[in-house]
Amino acid sequence: MPYDANDPRARLGTTTGSAPEGGYGTSEHANFYETSPQIESSLERTWLTRGQNFLVAYSQLEAGGGFVREDQVDEYIVLLPDAGVPTSIVAGEEKVRSDGRAVVVVPPGPSELRIESRGRVVAIFTTLSDDLAQRCVNADSYRVAKPNVAKLEPWPDPVGGFRLRCYDLDVEPEPGRFGRIWRTSNLMVNHSEPRLGPRDVTKMSPHTHEDFEQGSLCLGGSFVHHLRWPWGTDMRHWRPDEHVICAGPSLAVIPPLVLHTSQQVSQGINQLVDIFSPPRRDFSEMPGWVLNADEYPVPS
């Protein structure tokens, strides 16, 4: 698949984009600004959208708002995208407090998040959190598993065991490193560098993924997600191209084996966060790309 010569992903192995015999899965697009939240109270408005292995809970919270997980089955990630939003997270005997601009990994078991001033919080779970998965706006799309998506097999436990881990979101870019990537035993997030203004249309990056969905969470600005389903011999699986505009906040879920690229189109800051479950091995094998790689072993 083509990448611009200056794109760090040009060093990755690529798939061919050939059509699968059994057909493709469909894409998913949820523009939160166009729909009602799935959870709503005086302190919380939360939109829930899923892929096959992951789900996103995007919350707008008032002071004192938050959520409790009584018996969380596996790790999840909390993204605090904005500065000046004091937030406390408790898990067992541990507690972390952040003023925002952070990524927090929360261990299995009981946990609680509370926010001290109005702000937004993104929580990313695997779909093993069935209570949340069932409430997703697109839950019906996954009553039957979509084709070509590999089963979620957790990676090895973290070094030192499961615990609260807090990372500063503001990491300076480095030549040759792609985005700002963190992983857990079951998830990977790439908080890409902010993109100012529309994308250069001569430097697009159409590519495919062999056996995993990509969640593209837009936190600011606006993107056009371009998708193309390669033709195979069975015309019943042919699909028209998609060119879907998703402003922030929104989530797009891109199926495996579909040629795709995302084009920022707003004049200001465009911010995208990519989500994968399980973590991507190709990203993990690139030296220096995963910022907490020393804490989370790669399967042998």
Q: Quick: pLDDT tens for 162-192.
A: 999 999 999 999 999 999 999 999 999 999 9
| Residue 298 within a domain | no
List, in sequence order, every residue forming a beta bridge with 220; answer none if it has no partner: 271
* Domain of 185, in residue numbers: 8-293
pLDDT of residue 244: 98
Residue 283 within any structural domain of the chain: yes
Provide the number of structural domains found in the chain.
Answer: 1
| CA–CA separation, 264 and 201 (whole Å) | 10
Report if residue 120 sits inside a domain.
yes
pLDDT recorded at residue 21:
76
Cα 262 to chain center, whole Å?
14
Whether 3 maps to a domain, the answer reads no
For residue 167, give the CATH number of its domain: 2.60.120.10
Q: What is the pLDDT of residues 254-294, one digit of tens each?
A: 999 999 999 999 999 999 999 999 999 999 999 999 999 99
Name the pLDDT band for 14 (thresholds 50, 70, 90): low
> Residue 149 domain-assigned?
yes
What pLDDT, on a 0 to 100 scale, did the predictor assign at position 13?
A: 65
From CA 173, how far away is CA 289, in angstroms rounded? 11
Question: What pLDDT digit, counting tens, does each position of 87-138 carry?
Answer: 999 999 999 999 999 999 999 999 999 999 999 999 999 999 999 999 999 9
Q: Does 41 reside within a domain?
A: yes
Position 299 in a domain: no
- Asked if residue 2 is part of any domain, the answer here is no
Strand partners, 30: 251
Q: Averaged over 223-244, what is the pLDDT?
A: 95
pTM here is: 0.94
Label residue 36 exposed, middle or buried (CB < 10 Å: 0-12, 13-18, 19+): exposed
Report the chain's mean pLDDT, rounded to a whole number. Answer: 95
pLDDT of residue 16: 52
